[in-house]
Structure formats: structure tokens, C-alpha cells
Amino acid sequence: MMGPGSRSGALLRDPCVAGFPVNSKVGGLGWDHDDCNGPRAVTAREHRTTTRTVLLLGALCLLAAGGGVFAAVAPDSGRAAFESEAGSAERSTPGLAAPVVAPVQLAASPADGAQQVNPAAPVSLRVTNGSIDRVALTDSDGEAVEGSLSPDGTGWSAAGPLQFNSSYTYNFVVTDAAGRKTNDTRTFTTVTTANEADAAVYPLDGMKVGVAQPLQITFSEPVLNKDAVEKAIKISSTSGQAGAFHWFSDSMVRYRAENFWAANSTVTMDMQLFGIDFGNGQIGNFNKLVTVHVGDKKVAVADATAHTFSVSVNDKPAGSWPATMGDTRFPSARGFLVFMEKYRVEHMSASSIGLKPDDPAYYGELDVNYATRLTPSGEFIHQATDSALPYIGVANLSHGCIGLGPDGAKWVFDNMTTGDVVQVVNTEGENANFDDGFGDWNIPWPQYAN
């Protein structure tokens, strides 16, 4: 056997000698250093296991050194290949983000580019998979519309109604779950002036009227959605009286109780008609609160046969005077007639009722004193003309008016007012047309409230 210094491939030098490699191979085998107590032979199986371990470690070292797509990178060793956009500036187009997050879903109302938007329609923005950063809603003049953000930051809504015939810009910024901000701008326009619907209300707010005064609303446009309009009008009375609407045309509705309003009560009309669809593209443009005060109950009875005019106040007699009423050619209208307005002196013309100078009933033109109107067509209570004064309490010879002496006409003028009522009896005339004054009380309640 050769000594340790031999270079033969059959044996190795002692691995405990300084500078000698450990596990040096000799003919497929090797020496294993056992606590430097001396060499021992390495088996073939141990050699194969050791070789595989060395090869694997070498491969990993090569990968780490060479970079590559599988390179192991420590958190502080450099920037990743794709950068997260969580901290990026606002942008108007989608970008690439890592990690991938669900896109923000937007639900904005009105829709972008919408036209003829009802100014009472809700203006809102709702998001899912994100939150709202800020919202700005402005009109064409740059005036901002106030709004509020929901507590969870996913909803925004305008605080008040919009204007008619206006253009609005809706700008908002939303943030997704990765912190990305997206800016979007949308526009819409509201209902044009041609589609606005207004109304006139009578009695006027704060007015004091008699117990027979119906409430009247005259619309600027025909109303097709009558149920919607009625539901938007709340009417209440301190007397607790319930009432009903009655449509005299598509443009005019009245409201009254089954019986006269209670004396000295208050009636309130709360009309929330802004944004209500009247039909045919017409949208209500107003809300109004009207308070009407009802005075004493003053009811007169004009008897064409007895030639008298009698008045009661709160169901107690207040006065009675002789009268002259319409003759057989021009009989006074029958039923209930509601006082409308009064004039200290009223000018009357025979031509206004179709009379010509060659007509025996023609009276030309004249002025009458203490005139209180009952119908727009021309029936009044007034002081009889000088030529008719001898006939009051005796015969009917007027053109439909109720003529009284100076005392009776003045008392009515001074003490009775809009909404008071006179019931005309024993006349050959018909009830006044529904549109000729307030003939509501001549319509039976079941028919009126239907």
C-alpha cells in the first residue's frame, strides 16, 4: 500500500492535514473526516446523496446571481416590474394596477346627456366597489347646487330642486379599493320653459271670505294627470270639515266641503305641485301655501214672488228689505249665488247683454250705486235706478239683477263680502252656468264629489 504522499488515484491523503479538501474523491469513493480522528472510507450511496445536494445548491446560487424571471427579491432589493397605482394622480382613463381590484360601478341620475329632466327629480350618485371623493353640481352660470354625502361615502344627493330650462354639469371623483381616483364629468338639461305649468289660486293667501266661498285653482295648462295633482294638494280646515275636488274643465278645479264652511274657521291649502307631471309633458313649477280665513255666516234669501231680500248672520235675522228682480224676459238666476266683488259705483251698458237701441228693454248706459257682483255675466245686487225705485217690493222689472232701495243696498255693500251667499227662490230662471260665478252649491254633493 502506498503512503499518504502518493498521487495514485487509489488512495487520498489524510483530510485532517491543513489545506487538504474534505471529501475528496478517490475512484468514486472518498474520505470522510470524522472529528479529525482519522480518515474513513465513504460509501457509494453517501457519495451520491452528497453530490445531489451540491448540485442543487449550485443551481440556486446561479439563479440568484443571474436575476431571471424567477429571481428571489428581498423587499428592499429593488422596485417590482409593475408598480401599483394606489398613489397615482387623478386620471380620466382606466390604467393598469397591481393588485387587480374590482372596478368601481357608477349609478348617476340623471343620465349623461339627458334632456327635459324634471327639475324635481332626484339628482344622485351611487357607487359600488369604491367610495365618492367629491362631487360638484353646477348650472350654466356656475352656481353650485348643494348636496350631501352618505355616511359610508358611497352615495351623494342634491339637497334641493333644480331650475327649469337650465343646463347642469355633474363632476365627481371616485376612488376604488386600491386607492385609484377617477374623475368623470356628465351633463344634462332640465324641462324647457314651454313645458312649465303654473296656476292661479283664489281666494288669495290671507284673504277673508264668506262661508260659501269654494277654493279655485286655474292652471295655465290642461291637466291630464288629475289624480296626481289632487294628491299633491292637501286641504285642511280648523273645523275638521272634509271636502272634495270637482273639475269644471281640464284647466280649472274647485274644492268645497259638503256644507258651508264653519263660521270663523281657517282653511289651509298646501300645494306641492313643483315637479308634478300634469301630463302631455307639462310639469308643475310651483309650491304654494295659502291660508284663507272664513268670517261670519251671512246668508241672504231673495224671493222673486214675495219681492223681498232677507239676511241672516250666524243663523240670526239681520235685516229684510223690499226688492225687485228679473222680469219674465230676464228672470234672475235661481239657486245659490256667491258674492264675488263690489263697487261703490258700477257702470252698466245695455249692449253688454246684447240689447240694441231699438229693443224695448234697451236702457242705454247708466251708473248704479252700491253694486255687489254675483256673476261675471252681469248679475248684481245694487241700488235700484230712480225709475225702478217705485216698483221695489211690488213687481219684477230688472234685467236679472236684484234691486234694493238705498238703505238695503248700502247695508249689503257695507256688511256682506266675497264668499257670502244669496239663495234666489221662486224665480223662473235657471241656475247660473258653472263657469258663470261660483255655482258649486247648486250641484248635489254626490255628483260634486264624484
Please indicate whether residue 307 is annotated as part of the active site. no
Q: Are 107 and 117 in contact (CB under 8 A)?
A: no
Determine which one of 246, 307, 399, 401 is catalytic: 401
Q: State whether residue 172 is helix, strand or coil.
A: strand
CA dist., res. 346 & res. 398, Å (int): 16
Of 210, 205, 170, nearest to 186 by C-alpha is 170
Q: State whether residue 195 is helix, strand or coil.
A: helix
End-to-end alpha carbon distance in the chain? 133
Please indicate whether residue 33 is annotated as part of the active site. no
Beta-bridged to residue 144, according to DSSP, are: 138
CA dist., res. 31 & res. 85, Å (int): 59
CA dist., res. 88 & res. 124, Å (int): 27
CA dist., res. 174 & res. 101, Å (int): 14
CA dist., res. 379 & res. 385, Å (int): 15
Q: Are 166 and 140 in contact (CB under 8 A)?
A: yes
CA dist., res. 378 & res. 347, Å (int): 11
30: number of Cβ within 10 Å: 22
Written in H, E and C, the secondary structure of 287-339 is: EEEEEEEECCCEEEEEECCCCEEEEEECCEEEEEEEEECECCCCCCCEEEEEC
Q: State whether residue 63 is helix, strand or coil.
A: helix
Determine which one of 246, 307, 382, 399 is catalytic: 382
Cell of 170: 355633474
- Laid out side by side, the sheet with 25-26 consists of 25-26, 29-33, 39-41
Active-site positions?
382, 401
